[in-house]
Structure 1
Amino acid sequence: MTEPPPPVIELDRVTKSYPGGVRALHDASLRIRPDELTAIVGPSGSGKSTMLQLMGTLDRPTGGTVRILGHDVADLDDGQLSAVRANWIGFVFQQFYLTAHLTAVQNVANGLFYHGIARRIRLRRAAAALERVGLGHRLDHRPQELSGGERQRVAIARALVARPAIVLADEPTGALDSRSGETIIELLHELHGEGTTITVITHDNGIARAFDRQVEILDGEIRSDSSAMMGAR
């Protein structure tokens, strides 16, 4: 029997506490393998955003181990963590964080700013990323000239332009109407089909059910994992 590939993200008994005795995450263990399409679902305050910050190396755990592509986050200094984020992880947020005076292609090209790539190559790769998300006809439009769904697609293109192994999306449909939200979900499925490992954070169980794997988190603890349930059958 062929061994499954090693996880791209691994949380091993991870805890995250804050001053004042606030424990946002407790004893959480999770393994996300290459090409998986996962939704982490829970209400506000459940710990899901804390989990995303730890998976994205935006924060460090209080206890336990976080590994990204086999590398223990605790062994990496701030410069190395910045390199991990720049090269291996793409982020998509509910708020699009696009620069108003820049065109779509310039906003996406900014995702390559710290890669030491010449400007003309950055722009060429940005145009290709926008083509990939269906916005090849909107390259020169500024954010205020785009719909909410189009702005989120620009943000997804920016996350993908460096060709990361992992994309982490925090409530990517939260600021959109239902039709635009459905388009973004379809796009994430398409990108997953092309081999991108995608993890989505959401409070909406309906959205979570649109993805292959659902991990439910509540009060800082993982309560259920559909992949574990499927494996038990």
Structure 2
Amino acid sequence: MTRPPVIELRDATKAYPGGVHALRGVNLTVEEGELLAVVGPSGSGKSTMLNVMGTLDRPTSGTVKVAGYDLSELSDARLSALRARHIGFVFQHFHLAAGRDAVDNVADGLLYAGVPLKERRARARQALAEVRLDHRFAHTPDELSGGEKQRVAIARALVGEPRLLLADEPTGALDTASGEVVMELLHELNASGTTICVITHDHAIADSLPRRVRFKDGEIVSDSRSTPLTGEARR
């Protein structure tokens, strides 16, 4: 049986008091295995898109489905369970717990999944190895570089094996070299099957991804894809 899209928005709107319309009739489908950017300037609506796609906020009107589940039909408790099971988040400023080593920071990503501590830590070590940090297991955030902190944050987001990784300005707090390492890692994770959406204002980052969804004033103004390389072109 075909799996439903990871994300599906139909005529989704989001309005706030005072006549602010952050989303205006947005239609977007994200299929399994995609790597895309949602790109736009500050105030364009892309942060609201992150919150709606990540089930952190409900739309004012329209339909939002995550992994086939219509958010309007779920209680807050079921919505939290859906988020924990299907979505991983990576933020610009890492949000790591000070004084806790990399393994425990990543293991915290499984706190609400009912996984025993020993298994949480074992899976955390595996996730850290996947982001090439198996030499930093015992290091706390203040002993890590910015790029390493972001890789710990990515491992924490991935440890629960979500269908979707939402990365909000993942290179925004990093120098150029560290940012390139993080983006290379996101490409590798996508190649291994993870669906990834990068929210960014950086057009260079957006242009490096296979799909670019450009936002302005709460609306999608373009949705473009790179032409897939043929086998001959790859060689």
- After TM superposition, the score normalised by the length of structure 2 is 0.95
Partner of 1:168: 166
Q: Over aligned residues, Cα RMSD in angstroms?
A: 1.5
CA distance in 1, matches of 2:53, 2:70: 11
Instruction: Give, as a single letter, the amino acid of the residue that structure 1 aligns with 2:174.
Output: L
Q: Is 2:59 aligned against 1:52?
A: no
CA distance in 2, matches of 1:216, 1:206: 13
Partner of 2:118: 120
Partner of 2:155: 157
Instruction: Give, as a single letter, the amino acid of the residue that structure 2 aligns with 1:11.
Output: L
Per-residue deviation, 1:153: 0.1
Query: Which whole-Å deviations, capped at 9, do the CAs of 1:152-200 have from their partners, x for residues lacking one?
Result: 0000000000000110000000000011000000000000000000000
Per-residue deviation, 1:6: 3.4
CA distance in 2, matches of 1:36, 1:157: 19
CA distance in 2, matches of 1:85, 1:142: 27
Q: Is 2:62 aligned against 1:71?
A: no
- After TM superposition, the score normalised by the length of structure 1 is 0.95
Query: Which whole-Å deviations, capped at 9, do the CAs of 1:67-117 have from their partners, x for residues lacking one?
Result: 001110000001001101111000000010000010000000000011111
Partner of 1:140: 138
Per-residue deviation, 1:7: 1.4
Instruction: Give, as a single letter, the amino acid of the residue that structure 2 aligns with 1:8.
Output: V
CA distance in 1, matches of 2:29, 2:45: 17
Instruction: Give, as a single letter, the amino acid of the residue that structure 1 aligns with 2:21.
Output: R
Partner of 1:129: 127
Query: Which whole-Å deviations, capped at 9, do the CAs of 1:131-165 have from their partners, x for residues lacking one?
Result: 00000000000000000000000000000000001
Instruction: Give, as a single letter, the amino acid of the residue that structure 2 aligns with 1:185.
Output: M
Judge conservation of contact 1:5–1:33 (CA < 8 Å) in 2.
Answer: no
3-state SS of 2:25 partner: strand
Identical counterparts, % of pairs = 60
* Counterpart among 6, 9, 29 of residue 8 in structure 1: 6
Cα distance change of structure 1 residues 96 and 124 upon mapping to structure 2, 3 Å threshold: same
Per-residue deviation, 1:4: 7.9
* Counterpart among 198, 212, 215 of residue 214 in structure 1: 212
Structure 1 gap ranges (5+): none
Partner of 1:88: 86
Per-residue deviation, 1:5: 5.7
Query: Which whole-Å deviations, capped at 9, do the CAs of 1:178-225 have from their partners, x for residues lacking one?
Result: 110000000000000000000000001000011110000000000000
Structure 2 gap ranges (5+): 228-235
CA distance in 1, matches of 2:2, 2:203: 28
The number of residue pairs the alignment matches comes to 228
3-state SS of 2:135 partner: helix
